[in-house]
Amino acid sequence: MENQHGDLMSMSDIASLAQVRRPVVNMWIKRHAAGSTPFPEPAVVRGEQRYFFSHDVVSWLEETGKGNNPHVRTDAGINIQIDPQDIEPLTALLALRTLVGEPLGTYAVDDLVDLADEEDPDDEFLFKEIHESRNLQHLAKKADMCADAAYTAAHALEAIYSARNTDDLKERSQTALSEDALSFLADVALALRGQGAIVEATRGGSDLLLSTLARLPETESLTVGLQQSDTAARSALARMAMRRVVAVAVGKDNVILDSVHTDGQATYLAQLPSPEAPDAPASALLSQIDELALSLDRQDRALIVGPASILSEPLEDKELDSIRSTILRSRRVHVIASLPSGVRAARPRQRMALWILGPELPSTGESPARMLVSDLSLRTLTQLLNADFGAQLAFGLRNMTSKRPVAVIHSRWMPLPTVVAASTGLIPAPRMEREIYTDYATSARAVAELEALAEVVQETNEARPEFPFEFSALETRLDFKRGHEPTIGELLESGALKHLPGTRFAPGDVDDSVRSGIGIWEAHLLPSAKTDAAISHFALANGYGNSQLTEPGDIVFSTTGEVRAVVDRAGSRVVRFPAKALRITADNSSGLIPDLIVEALNRQQLKQWPRTHIRICPEDKKDLLVRALEFLKNEQKIAQKRIETINALENSLTNMVIDQKIDMIDRRTQRKEGSNATP
């Protein structure tokens, strides 16, 4: 309700604005009922609740100097009562303001609707709310007032969302996760995703995606896939969730919004039960998990948090147990973890669990698929955050196919058939002690494995060749100025560089397992500089006549997610969209060096890659610098191989000693004792 005095404020709103406790406002009303500066009279009384005009309250606080907030007039915009019917259009206008980057109060109604149509042409999250608003221009001015009070439109939107108790928000509060739980799960999601996108998969949205954005390091880039449900069927909860994500993401330079994520690996976030169905039965929750598992692409992952009663505890209902067992036998569940108490804010004692889904687990007749089972119920969320459990978990999953998987704290690797067949729940009780049995043959094999690793470490410790280049100082030159560093766009215009777009291959033409044919550069594999997929010469010639093979020295890069560029030193490969390539076409005197172009792309992380500046090497030093860089790259490879072997030796040695499979001595100690012995 508004009039010429402005919006209404409850006593709680006044306390929040003045930065005092609510009893203090009660005291002001009683003590200042009369006198030269009486407290304003209530404008509206509803039952026992009194409401005051915001303008009157602000004037009284400024005149009397009461409270602890010197900026009451500026902050009043975010501490007002909002008609429940205005929450949807008001938050839509705040989201629109983040997208256009300017105040909306001066726009006419038709112009506001046109703006909404431009920013949300498919009506996914704000157009309907703005188009159907009953008092749009007034709400636009109110949105500006709220944004100014909260410093940004995104903060204003979040404050309104958090403070208002509409029916929809009450439904969401039933399923809300605690702050510690959100931080823990966000860290796990960021560790799992590698360089891939993160996609919202909770029906009606959740705070988990927003927490992930909040904990994303500034040095990392992230592509965010928004909800995949049909736009026409999207609920008010889902549209509100999408507005919140858009408002936050637009303000982050390292976040890319992708309304329908289709390219590259993705990690899906799902919270059960969802805000749209907080009372959904167990059968519906398991069906949602099954649908999500079936929708995942081969390399996708999913993080699912839900009641332990369906994710990890025994199921007495045979039909439910059958559904869960079917999901597990699909070999896509990599992790089952019981979580500490306090995950759900409204029900902190409810037992919750975590599932992580991923690529189909490898399995052979002799070696069944293994999954990670974690009992975290006796820990606290703070302990898990401090232990960086998410990073340890992600590292263990990346190495799960090795002969001896990496140990993860509070967890154990178990055969999938053993987990599925368990009658007392999927997570066995903690083992207080264990029996260890090792025969001599097993111990001898363990010793041979360790000695082989140690031998490789020793071999790579041989003296490396000396650095074959010498340096000398130059005479001081007062007239030296660094030359112009052209952008990639300028080099493309001049013809010094050539852009080779990636090819869109049909999935059926690409073989991920073949080791013959023409190798394919793919965006998600650029960080490892590998080409695991290939296409036959016949398929390439017959279906993709415009494709060009790379040449040695071409720069292959991608701006999807994190910018990543590598030098193709071998050539004779093809580049798959969204990756692309650059080729140096200028003569040798141009001073362009592939490694310097790669370094510039990876360093600047510009999505508008043509604006990347490139350093030019002096003509007379180019050949020397190229040879020096090649020498150093080779040394880096040798050093990396040595580090990987040392890490493998460390893991194997630790596991074998703890499992009492080997005994060991320190030769250094023996030599020292021998030298001190009496003759």
What kind of architecture, by CATH, is found in domain 173-226+261-387? 3-Layer(aba) Sandwich (3.40)
Residue 4 pLDDT > 50? no
Total residues belonging to the chain: 679
CA-only gyration radius of the chain, Å = 31
Per CATH, which fold does 488-615 belong to?
A: Adenine-n6-DNA-methyltransferase TaqI; Chain A, domain 2 (3.90.220)
Mean per-residue pLDDT of the chain: 82
Average pLDDT over residues 176-194: 91
Residue 665, pLDDT > 80, answer: no
CA–CA distance, 117 with 123 (Å, rounded to integer): 8
CA–CA distances in Å: residue 120 to residues 109, 140, 332, 526, 581: 16, 17, 36, 33, 33
Q: State the pLDDT at residue 474.
A: 63
Cis peptide before 578, with omega less than 30 degrees from 0? yes
- Name which of 150-154, 358-362, 580-584 the model is least confident about: 150-154
Average pLDDT in the 417-442 region? 69
pLDDT in tens, 500-536: 988 888 877 887 655 578 888 888 778 776 777 888 8
CA distance 312 to 306: 10
Token pair belonging to 506: 């049909």
pLDDT band at 227 (very low <50, low <70, confident <90, very high): low
Q: Compute how many other C-beta atoms are within 10 angstroms of the C-beta atom of residue 385.
A: 14
Domains 173-226+261-387 and 488-615 share a fold: no
Q: What's the CA gap between 404 and 400, in Å, rounded?
A: 8
Provide the pLDDT for residue 193.
87
Query: Which residues share a beta bridge with 414?
Result: 371
Mutual orientation of helices 236-250 and 153-163 as an angle, nearest 10°?
150
> Which of 58, 65, 239 lies closest to 145, judged by CA?
58
Query: Which residue type, as a one-letter code, is found at position 259?
Result: S
Helix (H) or strand (E) holding 267: strand 266-271
pLDDT of residue 325: 93
The pLDDT tens digits for 8-67 are 888 888 988 888 888 889 889 888 888 888 999 998 888 888 889 888 898 899 899 998
Helix (H, G, I), strand (E, B) or coil at 270: strand
pLDDT at 164: 56
**Is the per-residue pLDDT at 476 higher than 60?**
no
For residue 256, what pLDDT is reported? 86
What is the per-residue pLDDT for 335? 95
133, 80 contact by CB (below 8 A): no
Residue reference for tokens 């904990």: 215
- 3 state DSSP class of 200: strand
pLDDT, residue 615, reads 84
Least confident of 27-31, 147-151, 240-244: 147-151
Q: What is the pLDDT of residue 313?
A: 92
Give the H/E segment covering residue 446: helix 440-459
pLDDT given for residue 168 in this prediction: 45
pLDDT of amino acid 432: 46
At residue 589 the predicted structure's pLDDT band, cuts being 50, 70 and 90, is low
Q: State mean pLDDT over 105-117.
A: 92
Q: Which of 257-274 are b and which e, b meaning 16 or more Cβ less than 10 Å from the residue's Cβ? A: ebbebebbbbbbbbbbbb
Domain ranges of the chain: 8-78, 173-226+261-387, 439-482+627-679, 488-615
* pTM, two decimal places: 0.57
Q: Tell me what the mean pLDDT of segment 153-179 comes to.
A: 71
3-state secondary structure of 238: helix
Q: Which of 239, 209, 251, 204 minimizes the C-alpha distance to 97?
A: 251
Spatial neighbors of 469 by CB under 8 A, at least 6 apart, are 624, 627, 628, 631
Looking at residues 654-670, what average pLDDT do you find?
74
CA atoms within 13 A on the CB side of 444: 3
pLDDT at 480: 44
